[in-house]
Amino acid sequence: MIAATILNVNDRDQNRYVVSKMLRNAGFQVLEACTGTEAIDRARSARPDLIVLDIRLPDIDGMEVCRRLKTDAATASSLILHTSATFASIDLKVRGLELGGDGFLVQPFTS
């Protein structure tokens, strides 16, 4: 069985590390990016099954990254799960879904 590939996008090293570690421990293949530009490039080259995408990035916000990926035929089929530690309003969640996002999680994640 081939493990799903997940692109984890977060500019905060600790947050990216924790999420990537949890996903790898669950058996997923994980790629990482720390900017919106890097996320778009990695998504186009690797075509991940899922993109865990932080809203706040240093160059392009996660909403715009989502819009670009969902309107590009090469990456439109990747699922996008938005995450945010600070931006979690209902309006933002709705906007993410309208731009093609598939879900929204607020950090920190709890089990």
Residue pLDDT, tens place only, 19-78? 999 999 999 999 999 999 999 999 999 999 999 999 999 999 999 999 999 999 999 999
Which residue matches tokens 């799960």? 81
Tokens of 50: 């899922």
The radius of gyration of the chain from alpha carbons, rounded to an integer in Å, stands at 13
Q: Which CATH class is domain 5-106?
A: alpha beta
Residues 93-108, mean pLDDT to the nearest whole number:
78
Tokens of 47: 């075509």
The better pLDDT of the pair 24, 83 is held by 24
Judged on CB neighbours under 10 Å (0-12, 13-18, 19+), 105 is middle
CA angle 32, 34, 36 (to 5 degrees): 105
Tokens of 107: 């950090």
Please report the pLDDT score of residue 106 as a whole number: 77
